[in-house]
Amino acid sequence: MSDFIENEEMEENENYITLTDDDGNEVSFEVIGEVEYKERYFAVLLPFDEDDDGVVILEIMPSDDETGEFLSIDDENLLQAVFEKFKNEYDGEYQFE
């Protein structure tokens, strides 16, 4: 079962977001893109943590407020497909290894 990560606070710059996980830990990210895949929406996030050099992909779930909720994804095939679409849509904006 996936965990929900709720939007805790939106910074002044809409490209930055702080999320709170189920354990109460706050984690800050830069939103580097959004992708639609099979009529679902995903956010591609870059953690501010200097020790983490990967991206985080969360599904954007509609909610009653403007911020929505974010759902972690356990399906590796879905993660890979969303990341491939992100790389295609944002080709030239980011360098991918």
In a domain, 34, yes or no: yes
Mean pLDDT of the chain: 80
In a domain, 95, yes or no: no
Whole-angstrom distance, CA of residue 57 vs CA of residue 82: 8
So what's the pLDDT on residue 66? 67
In a domain, 97, yes or no: no
- H or E stretch at 81: helix 76-89
Whole-angstrom distance, CA of residue 70 vs CA of residue 84: 20
Q: What is the mean pLDDT of residues 27-56?
A: 88
C-beta separation of 30 from 19 below 8 A: no
In a domain, 94, yes or no: no
Overall domain count for the chain: 1
In a domain, 82, yes or no: yes
The two tokens of residue 76 are: 């590796």
Whole-angstrom distance, CA of residue 49 vs CA of residue 79: 21
In a domain, 30, yes or no: yes
- H or E stretch at 27: strand 26-37
Model-level pTM? 0.76
Out of 9-13, 45-49, 60-64, pick the least confident: 9-13
Instruction: Give the residue numbers spanning the domain of 78.
Output: 4-89
In a domain, 23, yes or no: yes
In a domain, 32, yes or no: yes
